[in-house]
């Protein structure tokens, strides 16, 4: 909830997983950042849900190489 309080209007969160993280952990993270279960119940007796960040985007951090290029970017030679 801290992130949502800092960015209340955002519907997107960037997730930067480390290489070693297991798939099940990633799924759990996504489940927890998309919605929050509230204590209130709806008319059918089900817990109400509040959207947090329904759009989850995976990203990586690329290393800057000594020559100024970026590792893993596929690069374009002689780009304008």
What the block records as the tokens of 78 is: 């002689």
pLDDT tens readout for residues 16-70: 888 788 889 989 999 999 999 999 999 999 999 999 999 998 887 666 677 777 6
Note the residue count of the chain: 80
Q: What is the pTM of this model?
A: 0.62
User: What is the number of alpha carbons within 13 Å of residue 4 lying toward its C-beta?
Assistant: 13
pLDDT at res. 77: 47
pLDDT band at 73 (very low <50, low <70, confident <90, very high): low
The CA-based angle 29-34-40, given to 5 degrees, is 115
Q: Which burial class, exposed, middle or buried, applies to 53 when counting CB atoms under 10 A from its CB (0-12, 13-18, 19+)?
A: buried
Mean pLDDT of 7-22: 89
Considering only residues 33 and 74, tell me which one the structure prediction assigns the higher pLDDT: 33
């Amino acid at each position: 909830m801290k992130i949502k309080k800092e960015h209340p209007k955002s519907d997107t969160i960037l997730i930067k997983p480390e290489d070693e993280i297991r798939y099940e952990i990633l799924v759990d993270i996504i489940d927890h950042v998309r919605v929050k279960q509230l204590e209130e119940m709806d008319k059918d007796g089900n817990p109400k849900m509040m959207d947090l960040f329904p759009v989850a985007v995976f990203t990586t951090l690329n290393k800057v190489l000594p020559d100024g290029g970026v590792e893993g970017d596929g690069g374009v030679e002689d780009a304008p």
